[in-house]
Amino acid sequence: MAKKVGFQGVPGAYSEIAARTFFGPSVNTVAFKTFAEVFNAVSKGVVNSGILPLENSLAGSIHQNYDLLLKHKVAIIGEIKLRVSHNLIAHPQAKLSDILHIYSHPQALAQCSLFIKKMRQSEEVPYFDTAGSAQFVKETNLKQNAAIASAQAAKLYGLKILKAGIEDDKKNYTRFAVINKKPLAAKGNAARNKISLVFALKNIPGGLHKALGAFASRDIDLLKIESRPLAGSPWKYLFYLDVKGSLGDEPCRKALKHLSEIAKFQRILGCYPIARD
Amino acid sequence: MAKKVGFQGVPGAYSEIAARTFFGPSVNTVAFKTFAEVFNAVSKGVVNSGILPLENSLAGSIHQNYDLLLKHKVAIIGEIKLRVSHNLIAHPQAKLSDILHIYSHPQALAQCSLFIKKMRQSEEVPYFDTAGSAQFVKETNLKQNAAIASAQAAKLYGLKILKAGIEDDKKNYTRFAVINKKPLAAKGNAARNKISLVFALKNIPGGLHKALGAFASRDIDLLKIESRPLAGSPWKYLFYLDVKGSLGDEPCRKALKHLSEIAKFQRILGCYPIARD
């Protein structure tokens, strides 16, 4: 039976493209309305895996998914970096000069601001979702409405790409985490060279410096740090770290043991192969 | 002439309450549609100061304002922590049982989820702004519509508080930065005990650990770290730090000089008195 992978959004969403790129084109994708529903479906075994955006190279981290990683008993088993290319898509008979309204997610609208500025007769209209805006344009069936979404969304909803690659900055990537109910088995074929973890510090002076020192002193590279509010403790934080290394490596195991002297709480979110750029 | 302070939102917004709390009730507040417009107004001298939310103790940082701090030539001259208390407000003749629709900003709706769950007959409707939702409820003039907003918004729009303090978590604070075109004068009466800065690391191993070491080794407390994408360099980051200390202190000046050995770019965003909790 084909693997079932949950994603947030409607068919044609960038998350669904990421799922097909990671698992292959024949994977069975399942659309959910919210990120939380994807996490629930994975932790209850309704789907085999979930795919969730963690950060965009222009807009930054998607914090809700960091919070949900902590809330649910799931593990990161992989990641994928997807180049985000936006397209202006519309009715098959529409011309650029017909377009009066451009629908899309506010982030996609912001990422295409130079193109939109040139479309003088058009106004932008924020919509909850990129692929959802394509679906909406299809439903209205009006030549004056366009959406900003993926090429896949254009194909899926029988719309025409009026202009491809309209994003201001071509270095527009989104990194997705792939989550399973259980972590990858300790021994496997894949090279695990990235560890994601989360911790909260004890109340000690220079705590974060000491925590990072557990890794830096063992030449373990820090790939990313993200801070989030610690619930119930205003102006205290949780730290999410990505480091280069494997739970199978002696220095990493020692660094994590060292960290436990400084952290009042810590949890491994996953050890998995780092995505190619 | 009274000081003019810009804020984002409509009258009755939490930002406006923060401005009145910081500057006193007689301050002349000026409403702007977006955060970027507040920054523009400050840097062009249209208003004397701007007040902008930087983080909420439950929802986390407001990244757009971090990005705008870097983009504009402004300085943080103070901060204020405001306790956020949400209220269900409606038509003066409305009763709780009349309410079918509850309008507010998605974050405010999320922060009152337990209360909303008990309002079985009502559905929540996301709105762009908390005070704006109160303004909207006033305009509709229907007993079935309610908003979640500040007590000040209720008063301003002639609405009734049906239920006060409906937030799930009473430890709900928002921290606002006060910005001016110019930094506080080097010598002044106010005790400056907080420095905000932003930097990007050189490509050196353990760079962030070394950067934090410039402060930790001098017993300068780190209050907050925030990472944001470095434009044009996917998976590289800018770091925003808040540290305890003053630009007038010798150890802080040395730490900042030390940091410049590790950072390829650094900028002081402000040195100002830390807000009371």
Does position B190 have pLDDT exceeding 70, yes or no? no
List the single residue in B175, B212, B224 with the smallest CB-CB distance to A212.
B212
* pLDDT tens per residue, range B138-165: 999 999 999 999 999 999 999 999 999 9
Cα–Cα distances in angstroms (integers) from residue B130 to residues B60, B153, B167, in the given order: 18, 9, 13
Predicted confidence at residue B1, as pLDDT, reads: 65
**Residue B200, SS3?**
strand
Mutate to test the interface with A, among B128, B215, B235, B238 (most CBs of A within 10 A): B235
Does position B126 have pLDDT exceeding 80, yes or no? yes
pLDDT bracket for residue B189 (50, 70, 90): low
Give the residues across from B229 on adjacent strands. Answer: B237
Does position A1 have pLDDT exceeding 70, yes or no? no
The pLDDT of A85-102, averaged and rounded, is 97
Query: Given A39, A176, A199, A215, which residue is catalytic?
Result: A176
Torsion of CA A254, A258, A259, A260, to 10 degrees: 110
* pLDDT tens per residue, range A119-136: 999 999 989 889 999 999
Contacts of A247 (CB under 8 A, 6+ apart): A186, A192, A195, A253, A268, A271
The ipTM is 0.92
Pick B250 or B231 by higher pLDDT: B250
Pick A120 or A189 by higher pLDDT: A120
Predicted confidence at residue B128, as pLDDT, reads: 84
Predicted confidence at residue B187, as pLDDT, reads: 73
The pLDDT of A107-112, averaged and rounded, is 91
Strand order from edge to edge, sheet including B222-229: B222-229, B237-244, B194-201, B263-272
Query: Given B174, B199, B215, B239, which residue is catalytic?
Result: B174
Would you list the DSSP string of B209-270? HHHHHHHHTTTPPEEEEEEEEPTTSTT-EEEEEEEES-TTSHHHHHHHHHHHHHEEEEEEEE
Predicted confidence at residue B147, as pLDDT, reads: 98
Q: Is B267 on the interface with A (CB under 8 A)?
A: no
Please say if A174 is a catalytic residue: yes
pLDDT bracket for residue B188 (50, 70, 90): low
Q: Given the structure tokens 């239920």, which residue do they identify?
A: B163
If one counts every other C-beta atom within 10 angstroms of the C-beta of residue A213, the result is 21
Predicted confidence at residue A190, as pLDDT, reads: 64
Does position A107 have pLDDT exceeding 90, yes or no? no
CA dist A241 and A195 (Å) reads: 8
Average pLDDT of chain B? 95
Residues 120-179 of B with CB under 8 A from A: 169, 171, 173, 175
CA dist B251 and A161 (Å) reads: 59
pLDDT bracket for residue B228 (50, 70, 90): very high
| Proportion of chain B above pLDDT 90, given as a percent | 92
pLDDT bracket for residue A231 (50, 70, 90): confident
Please say if B34 is a catalytic residue: no
Q: For chain B, how many helices (H) and strands (E)? A: 9, 15
| Proportion of chain B above pLDDT 70, given as a percent | 99
Q: Given the structure tokens 């760079």, which residue do they identify?
A: B207
Residues 46-85 of B with CB under 8 A from A: 55-60, 63
Write out chain B residues lying below 8 Å of A240, CB-based: none
Query: Given A35, A39, A174, A239, which residue is catalytic?
Result: A174
* pLDDT tens per residue, range A31-72: 999 999 999 999 999 999 999 999 999 889 999 999 999 999
Q: Which of B211, B207, B206 is nearest to B222 (CA)?
A: B211
pLDDT bracket for residue B260 (50, 70, 90): very high
Does position A189 have pLDDT exceeding 70, yes or no? no
| Proportion of chain A above pLDDT 90, given as a percent | 92
The pLDDT of A81-90, averaged and rounded, is 97
pLDDT bracket for residue B107 (50, 70, 90): confident
The pLDDT of A2-28, averaged and rounded, is 95
